[in-house]
Amino acid sequence: MPSPTSPTPQPAGSPGRAGAPWRTLARALAPRASRSQLIAGALCALLGFGAVTQVRHTAGADYSSLRESELVELLDQLSRRASDLSAQNLALEDQRAELESTRGQAAAAADAAAERLRVQGILAGTLPAEGPGVVLRIYDPAGRVTASSLYHVIEELRNAGAEAMSVADIRITAATWVADGSQGGEPVIEIDGRAVSPPFEFRAIGDPTTIETALNIPGGALASIRNAGGTHDLRHQESLTIDQVAEVPSFEFASPVPEP
């Protein structure tokens, strides 16, 4: 008979001793909150609550504490500021429009100046010209057409609106002069110092009908040619080119103002 102080034997597979190590391991791994950790957690919670409260107070303190009169004044200031910004915006838009308009006007002025320069160059004879016009040939078999008669033709062409003229490969300008002369004992006509002989061929750019009407006026330019024993042949040209250009004179006592 076993002794009363002897331990009771445990059958194999009993959980008594087999589960003891697992319980010990579980207790070792289980988190243990110490007193200091609890205090630190409480302080963090209080700090977070205080921060949130401060943020909310700061966000609402700017206006919630203001009186009604102060809020009205603040609203008036904001309105005036908005009005000032709107006025500045309109002023800037007007300035931009003015700059764009000025730029457009400058471009238009430059184009107009270039066109005037071209027209003046054609009228002065320093640029070639092209357009409709007439070709007038004057024949003088008897040699009795004078410089005065030819100059009368030039003046009549100008009066008829001819924009460009040439005669015998000489460009006619406002400074052109015609004179009676002699060469080798024979009478000749000089145009700008160059001797020319018949037939005299005039080329003029302008409205052909207007030019023909002006030249055939009774007692006019062609009438004086016929009275002197000459004949003429006038033909319209839909497209006429005058390549001859006048030479710009060299100034002896003056010089052109240099361009900027």
Q: Predicted confidence band at 30 (pLDDT cuts at 50, 70, 90)?
A: low
pLDDT at 7: 47
pTM of the model: 0.55
Task: Identify the CA nearest to 210 among candidates 133, 144, 121.
Answer: 133
Per-residue pLDDT tens digits for 234-258: 999 999 999 988 887 676 777 788 8
Q: Predicted confidence band at 62 (pLDDT cuts at 50, 70, 90)?
A: low
Q: Predicted confidence band at 157 (pLDDT cuts at 50, 70, 90)?
A: very high
Q: Predicted confidence band at 106 (pLDDT cuts at 50, 70, 90)?
A: confident
Task: Identify the CA nearest to 153 among candidates 225, 105, 219, 98.
Answer: 225
Q: Which domains does the chain have, with CATH numbers?
A: 125-242 (3.30.70.1880)
Following CA atoms 71, 72, 77, 79 in sequence, which dihedral angle do they give, to the nearest 10 degrees?
A: 120
Rounded Cα gap, residues 156 and 214, in angstroms: 7
pLDDT at 54: 56
Per-residue pLDDT tens digits for 179-196: 998 777 777 899 998 999
- Bridge partners for 167 per DSSP: 170, 202
pLDDT at 81: 84
Greatest mean pLDDT among 23-27, 86-90, 199-203: 199-203
Residue 259 DSSP label: P
